[in-house]
Structure 1
Amino acid sequence: IDPNKANDPGLVYDISNDEYDAFSCGVGSPDVTQARCDELVVNGFSLEPADLNQPSISVSRLTSTRTVTRRVTNVTDTAETYSAEIVLPSGIGVQVSPSSLTVGAGQTAEYDVTLTYLSGPLDIYRFGSLTWVSEDHAVRSVLSVQPLSISAPGEVFSFGGSGSVTFPVDFGYTGSYSPGVHGLQLPLVLDGFVDEDPNKSFSFRTTNGVTAHLIDVPAGQAFLRFATFDELTDGDDDLDMFVYYCPDGINCSKIGQSGEATSREQVDILLPGEGTYVVFIHGFETDNVAGGPGSFYTLLGWSFGLQDDQGNMTATGPTFVTAGTTQDVTVDWSGLAPDTIYLGGISHNTPEGLVSITVINIGN
């Protein structure tokens, strides 16, 4: 080990604050508001985690081919020429363009890495490396690639008591496919009041500016969501949410939190375990409306099961798919009550079983 080599890396991967925020948006970090994420998209920043300009290159949703771009800056006082040396991830093709970089002192250059799935099992990670080598430096990047059998939207939104929506699904395998229907379900509605926390600091098992809701979830659920909305508080409040799972009703572990700058909070759990969930609403900052400091609010909760066709939604899609293609899945619904939000899911099923779920969110 020679730690002094860190003082002379040759090339570095610079990242701006905007790029870090865009990455945080892409991974659903509660530290970045939705308004900030929308601003970054308008300004041309990618929210895809793989596009963050860091040395490692990780693509977790490869169904055919994906190209990522990186930029490097020469932090030495002389120009250098680098050549790309690749250790291939198993079953993955890697093309680097250009394959040689000449970068002046203090200058920046860009290169593209194209990753292509060739062979081998799907839905597992493979690893390799890309090293830029000059006479005096070797700058190594880890390649981490997960070829997927299916890549589908995480959530689709629509509106109306009846209607239809279509979304694309990318396929990384050849074989049979079927979309499964789960829901649509009405929400569990829980009203509450929370005091303002003068310390603005949440802690578990306290009533200081915290209100707890205990919710029992049965076995066999595919998806669970808890949410609050600005429109469902009594004023201009900033409420936060913390969710704990207590399978035996005693021992609890935190499984999610949401801390937006307003009261629009959401925590999702895929394939939740059976047992008790505790949803803590934290009065981070409240106004003086309707008996404040404090806030009246409404907490909504949805879950839908692995076997849970409610008869109000159907899905149609291809029955046989080919690797590297994109096909449409169409969802139709009817008979929904007004003035609420229904939640359900479309599961994506291959010969190996359920691979992923697209949440269907219908306001009415």
Structure 2
Amino acid sequence: VYDAGLFEYAAFTFGMNWGVFSPGSCAFLEANGIPSEPWNLNYPSIGVSELAGTQTVIRTVTSVASGKETFKAKVVAPPGYDVTVTPNSITLNPGDSATFEVTITNDGSGPVDEWRFGSLTWKASKYAVYSPIAVKGALFSAPAEIFGSGETGSASFDVQFGYTGSYTAGAHGLIPATITTATVVQDPDQEFDPDDGFSNAHTFNLSGVAFFRLAIPPEATEPDADLDVYVFDPNGDLVASSTAGGTEEVVDISLPADGTWTVYVHGWQTIGPDSTYDMYTWAVPLATGGNLVIDSAPTSATIGSVETITVSWTGATAGQWHLGAVSHTGDSGLMGLTLVNVDNR
């Protein structure tokens, strides 16, 4: 069997960025060796939704057999992928556990944005433990965000490619946060309604923006206050929200449509009749240029290869929180962004 309890599922929600648990809780789980990567949830099925090149998945299996058994791995690889299991043979007494790795590699024919399926079966004399494998190829894999500090600094990260062709890394920003200070009143019924007067509306006119972020960190309001955030697009549709317990709100919008966006800060639980807060916002431009520069990056992509990108910045003002991005552009156009978060507060 594959055991997964409360801690494992809590770490999974952290890896999915669902905002269910606080960063402190997530740090506790990581410190105790519980993986937060979604693909490493100790579940019988194995799924990788964005595979660019190679991905290794970790599982721990526990024997419920009545006696000592030796299990051998039998793999049916998804079409377009190679799958190796390490170790490929495990011997367990009743109640014993063993950890193994499953490495999935695009052999060059795994299609982008299409699922392919296979399986792993651990076979013993009287038992067979079956795990389905599902893989979807991706053009590239890179961190969603990297972090730094200092008025001048640099950082590096790796990018893995799931295609062969052209590649360009572009630098956007850095830009300092715009800070909006306001006071929101307590909502008696704690139900968000943009028209009931218990939420503050903030509007943002966005044009040519690659990435829009807003944040109300815990230190930006009173301790124990619980403020929530709701974001409406230029059409008036609710497209994002942040309603985590306490006040640790972050909403990210990639490639927002041009127009007027409305952000509501809701007084779900204020301290006394109202609470004052600071809301940080960034609109990282779609155009390249600024004080973030690409020092080194690949100029082409080869499927399965891993390359390093190095960026640096100057003039990131002390006492301010800055955000920028590295864009990843290939044959098909913009593939994604890696945010560069420089917090000099």
Q: TM-score, length-normalised on structure 1?
A: 0.81
Contact 1:80-1:134 within 8 A present in 2 as well = yes
The 1:97–1:326 alpha-carbon spacing in structure 2 relative to 1, beyond 3 Å, is: closer
Q: CA shift at 1:33, angstroms?
A: 0.5
Q: CA shift at 1:26, angstroms?
A: 0.9
C-alpha distance after superposition, 1:136-194 (max 9, x if no partner): 76543221223433222211222233333332323344443221122223333322211
Query: Does residue 1:312 correspond to 2:312, yes or no?
Result: no
Contact 1:245-1:275 within 8 A present in 2 as well = no
Q: How does 1:246-325 map to 2 (within 5 A)?
A: 246-249=233-236, 252-261=237-246, 263-287=247-271, 292-306=272-286, 308-316=287-295, 317-325=297-305
Query: What residue is the counterpart of 1:128 in the other structure?
Result: 118
The 1-side partners of 2:329 and 2:239 are apart by: 30
Contact 2:186-2:198 within 8 A present in 1 as well = yes
Aligned-CA RMSD value: 2.9
The 2-side partners of 1:110 and 1:159 are apart by: 38
Contact 1:79-1:102 within 8 A present in 2 as well = yes
Q: CA shift at 1:103, angstroms?
A: 5.3
Query: Does residue 1:186 correspond to 2:164, yes or no?
Result: no
The 1:215–1:99 alpha-carbon spacing in structure 2 relative to 1, beyond 3 Å, is: same
Query: Which consecutive segments of 4 or more residues in structure 1 shift more than 6 A?
Result: 78-81, 134-137
The 2-side partners of 1:168 and 1:23 are apart by: 23
Query: What residue is the counterpart of 1:242 in the other structure?
Result: 229
Q: CA shift at 1:118, angstroms?
A: 0.6
Q: Which runs of 5+ in 1 are unaligned?
A: 1-11
How many correspondences in the alignment? 342
The 2-side partners of 1:27 and 1:64 are apart by: 21
Query: Which of 146, 149, 160 matches 2:150?
Result: 160
Query: Does residue 1:222 correspond to 2:207, yes or no?
Result: no
Structure 2 residue matching 1:35: 3-state secondary structure: helix
Contact 1:167-1:330 within 8 A present in 2 as well = yes
Contact 1:67-1:114 within 8 A present in 2 as well = yes
Contact 1:241-1:279 within 8 A present in 2 as well = no
Q: CA shift at 1:110, angstroms?
A: 3.9
Q: How does 1:53-202 map to 2 (within 5 A)?
A: 53-75=42-64, 84-99=73-88, 105-120=94-109, 121-132=111-122, 139-199=129-189, 201-202=190-191
The 1-side partners of 2:145 and 2:107 are apart by: 29
The one-letter amino acid of 1:127's match is F
Contact 2:73-2:89 within 8 A present in 1 as well = yes
The 1:114–1:214 alpha-carbon spacing in structure 2 relative to 1, beyond 3 Å, is: same
Contact 1:180-1:346 within 8 A present in 2 as well = yes
Query: Does residue 1:327 correspond to 2:307, yes or no?
Result: yes
Q: CA shift at 1:15, angstroms?
A: 0.4
Q: TM-score, length-normalised on structure 2?
A: 0.85
Query: What residue is the counterpart of 1:8 in the other structure?
Result: none
Contact 2:112-2:137 within 8 A present in 1 as well = yes
Contact 2:194-2:264 within 8 A present in 1 as well = no
Contact 1:223-1:270 within 8 A present in 2 as well = yes
The 1:270–1:246 alpha-carbon spacing in structure 2 relative to 1, beyond 3 Å, is: closer
The 1:206–1:131 alpha-carbon spacing in structure 2 relative to 1, beyond 3 Å, is: farther
Q: Which runs of 5+ in 2 are unaligned?
A: none
Query: What residue is the counterpart of 1:232 in the other structure?
Result: 220
The 2-side partners of 1:182 and 1:230 are apart by: 27
Contact 2:172-2:290 within 8 A present in 1 as well = no
Contact 1:242-1:254 within 8 A present in 2 as well = no
Query: Does residue 1:341 correspond to 2:324, yes or no?
Result: no
